[in-house]
Amino acid sequence: MRVAFVHTVTGVLEMFKARVAEELPDLDAFHILNEGLLQDLLRGKDPQVVFDALTAQLAVAETTGAELIVMTCSSTSPGVAVARRTLGVPIVKVDDPMARRAVETGSVIGLLCTASSTLAASTDLLHEHARVLGRDVVVEPMLITAAYDALHRGDKDQHDRLVEQAATELAPRVEVIVLAQASLAHLQTKLADQLGIDVLASPGLLMDALRARLAAAT
């Protein structure tokens, strides 16, 4: 099976490229980067226009030979529903396995985001999985835009400090914390150890889901 990973952030592309090479070395995979999709959302461009552009980008992946497409951007994930109506190959949202696990884990879910464009998309995805599983959940979102700004200035240490502070504030009110963006995944183990509750990140759960899917296809 040939798998296309479509990214909107360079660092996320590099992370997934490394994980695929290490964890699924025999996978026939390729990566596409389109930073403009996320940038347009953050600049307030009409989401429908962005989602149409996303569909065109995913169509390129299909034309290139992808038999499965993984969309690694949380902010653009609502546009996957649009693309699924047009494309003939299955499309996986990076956060689907994580959202399902969160709903299975607790009824009060903390959601940490640093990009404003991710907040509504990730909240809606959690509620979507709750409906599918027949569960009632409360989502406690926390947006840390200062951390996003720090990361884009190249100050990763300040980014991490701000996320850790927010997680510490949020933890007493929730049963599980979701790190809404793949760019936060490196903090998962540290936060779980510090806070004593489940902290979920998308990359590891996505890789588990891909392994299962590939095994079922063979």
- The answer to whether the CB of 180 falls within 8 A of the CB of 112 is yes
pLDDT of residue 152: 86
Average pLDDT on 120-136 reads 95
- The answer to whether the CB of 114 falls within 8 A of the CB of 159 is yes
pLDDT of residue 128: 94
| pLDDT, tens digit, 9 for 90 and up, residues 61-105 | 999 999 999 999 988 888 998 899 999 999 999 999 999 999 999
Average pLDDT on 164-180 reads 97
pLDDT of residue 218: 73
For the chain, percent of residues with pLDDT exceeding 70: 100
Q: What pairs with residue 142 in β-bridges? A: 112
Q: Which domains does the chain have, with CATH numbers?
A: 2-94 (3.40.50.1860), 96-202 (3.40.50.1860)
Average pLDDT on 119-139 reads 95
pLDDT of residue 215: 85
| pLDDT, tens digit, 9 for 90 and up, residues 7-20 | 999 989 999 999 99
The Cα 98–Cα 106 span in angstroms is 12
pLDDT of residue 31: 96
Torsion angle, alpha carbons of 8, 214, 204, 62, to 10: 0
pLDDT of residue 126: 96
Is the pLDDT at 217 greater than 90? The verdict is: no
Average pLDDT on 200-210 reads 94
What is the DSSP track for 135-169?
A: ---EEEEEE-HHHHHHHHTT-HHHHHHHHHHHHHH
Is the pLDDT at 156 greater than 80? The verdict is: yes
**Encoded amino acid at 160, one letter:** D
Token pair for residue 111? 């959601």
Helices (H) and strands (E) in the chain, counts: 10, 8
pLDDT of residue 164: 97
Is the pLDDT at 120 greater than 80? The verdict is: yes
Question: What phi and psi values does residue 201 have, to the nearest 5 degrees?
Answer: -130, 155
pLDDT of residue 90: 95
What's the mean per-residue pLDDT of the chain?
94
